[in-house]
Amino acid sequence: MHWTEGFWADRFRQCREVTLPHLWNTLSDPERGHALTNLRIAAGLEEGEFAGTHWQDELVYKWLEAAVSIYGVTGDETLDSQMDEVIQIIAQAQQPDGYIATQITARGWKRFQDIRHHELYVMGHLITAACIHHRITGKSNFLDIARKAADCNTFKNRTPELAHFPFNPTIIMLSGMRSCSPTCTPARRMLA
């Protein structure tokens, strides 16, 4: 379904023509948004230091979620290519065991030491965006990253020291959704 006129059509048009490009420009700007730069640093594609909040990566995942939602209506091939480029950077930033959190890896910090570093919160947004991306595009490139994150060894052998780390509510909600199987299996795997 998509709107052709009226209030919601105007909101969609504004999101497609103004909001999404503005967010992209912010994410891409190393002086303001930092998010793509942080991913490139973590991927080894750029030199530099992490900048921004502990949940900076989440902004990229939310942008991807919005972009794929717009793509689902418009079929905009340029947007599809742009998403694929970002997903490739995310894949390169992901650690071999599936862990991904530039606020930690780009700084060389130890994982899961402080709940305020928002590692699981950010991974929850990655998984959500990847499930939606797969559902709309049919591609598995982003979903593969989410599966790998969910299979991270950290979650297989959750030690008592990690008991204080809560899961993102998104992960819990996705894990219970039967209607989106198999795309929500990364969330189920993480909670298994």
pLDDT in tens, 58-69: 899 999 999 999
Q: Choose the weakest-confidence range: 1-15, 31-45, 91-105, 176-190.
A: 176-190
Can you give the pTM of this predicted structure? Answer: 0.84
Q: What is the 3-state secondary structure (H, E, C) of 142-182?
A: HHHHHHHHHCCHHHHCCCHHHCCCCCCHHHHHHHHCCCCCC
**Residue 170: pLDDT band with limits 50, 70, 90:** low
